[in-house]
Amino acid sequence: KQEVTQIPAALSVPEGENLVLNCSFTDSAIYNLQWFRQDPGKGLTSLLLIQSSQREQTSGRLNASLDKSSGRSTLYIAASQPGDSATYLCAVCNDYKLSFGAGTTVTVRA
Amino acid sequence: KAGVTQTPRYLIKTRGQQVTLSCSPISGHRSVSWYQQTPGQGLQFLFEYFSETQRNKGNFPGRFSGRQFSNSRSEMNVSTLELGDSALYLCASSLNPGQSYEQYFGPGTRLTVT
């Protein structure tokens, strides 16, 4: 059974600081890994998708890395802004389903 | 392109009743998945449908069921509701998650069981 862990559970940083969010998973037989953002009471917004054959994916201020062999992914958010405050979820895809971590709740202080 | 839509957005039901939730995927997407989100258990996979066939099912009791129609729209049904079924139910659509396509989520249906 796939287990996904996200560390830390919560993070509070001043505006402008870079964010580093970690995700680990136990079964490396994955199709891909997705990072999502969730605002309170809302659905999930896809941020980045990394295919199992890729090592890195970038979109604007976001950069995600994937080390499938060690079962790890890291999401970097550069120059954080108050609007980045949200819960960030990591999910790995195999057997037509996503297995999610519990998320990292980020607060960016103005 | 319209996103994933879910109806209704909010529901209040009584224990023992049944409920049906609806999901319309992004146009052209043939895969629809359902997830339950609770504060205690986080996001848990319910089931996935592709071209009207269920390809995978999560570890939920038989009271939870779903189906997909020929136009890719999907419904999930929960019978004999329990207090623990109170949750945010999220639907996701994809071209085909088994081939590494991105999954897109709807806004969810908030179900409260009293």
A52 in B contact zone (CB under 8 Å): yes
What average pLDDT does the structure give for chain A? 95
CB-nearest partner of B48 from A46, A49, A97:
A97
- Does A98 reach chain B within 8 Å, measured CB to CB? yes
Q: Which residues of chain A are within 8 Å of residue B31 when distances are taken between CB atoms? A: 96
The single-letter DSSP state of residue A79 is S
Tell whether A99 is within 8 A of chain B (Cβ): yes
Residue B76's pLDDT is 98
Which residues are within 8 A (CB) of B44 and not within 5 positions of it... i.e. 6 or more apart? B35, B36, B37, B38, B58, B59, B60
Alpha-carbon distance A102 to nearest alpha carbon in chain B (angstroms): 6
CA distance B3 to B13: 27
Question: Angle A22-A26-A27 (CA atoms, 0-180°, nearest 5)?
Answer: 125
Neighbours of B22 (CB within 10 A): 14
- Residue A26 DSSP symbol: S
User: What would the mean pLDDT of B39-57 be, rounded to a whole number?
Assistant: 94
Q: What is the mean pLDDT of chain B?
A: 94
Q: Tell me, what's the pLDDT at B97?
A: 63
Residue predicted with more confidence, A23 or A1: A23
Residue B47 bridge partners (DSSP): B34, B57
Q: Identify the closest residue of chain A to B96 by CA–CA distance.
A: A96
Which residue out of B32, B56, B95, B103 would a mutagenesis test of the A interface target, given it has the greatest number of A Cβ atoms within 10 Å? B103
On chain B, the residues whose CB falls within 8 A of the CB of A103 are 42
Band of pLDDT at residue B2, cut at 50, 70 and 90? confident
pLDDT for the residue numbered B100: 67
Q: Among all chains, which residue has been given the structure tokens 């989520």?
A: B105
Cβ pair B108:A97 closer than 8 A:
no
Non-local (6+) Cβ contacts of B81 within 8 A are B13, B14, B15, B16, B17, B18, B19, B113
